[in-house]
Amino acid sequence: MKVINFAHPLTESNLQEIKSLAGCEVSEVVEVPSQIDPAKPLEPQIASRLENLGLTAQEWQTQPLLINLPSLSCSAAVVLALLHGRMGYFPPILRLRPDTDSLVPRFVVAEILNLQAIRERARGKR
């Protein structure tokens, strides 16, 4: 599985946590800059970063991808909208949480959220 990371770098420990939760190896982590220029429109900034990943239309639709969203909520919303358009479904995403037992600030993987399954469950509420 390829992890596309729009947030802080993931540690080796995080990658082991992902492997344990996902049940498969992380083959690659692609770091994507998430800093945006607030004076410019957001969509083109995010779209160009996705273009720079170099994935083909087929790869977007068939490659196992896990997304670590940017922390800025508007950026995360645009990432999800653009990914859904390219992939045809919502990708699974990471949820990190602070490690409360650590003296030095660090994050651990709390869960992998299957957004497509969440969407499908929500459709029953229509």
Chain centroid to CA 43: 17
What does the pLDDT read at residue 105? 86
| Res 104 pLDDT > 90 | no
3-state DSSP call for residue 17?
helix
Q: Supply the DSSP string of 7-60, one letter for each residue.
A: SSPPPHHHHHHHHHHHTS---EEEE------TTS-HHHHHHHHHHTT---HHHH
Q: Give Cα 107 distance to the centre of its chain.
A: 15
Any idea what the Cα angle at residue 99 is, between residues 93 and 101, rounded to 5°?
Answer: 160
- pLDDT, tens digit, 9 for 90 and up, residues 27-70: 999 999 989 999 999 999 999 999 999 999 999 999 999 999 99
> Mind listing the pLDDT tens digit for each residue in 72-85?
999 999 999 999 99
3-class state of residue 104 by DSSP = coil
pLDDT at res. 34: 85
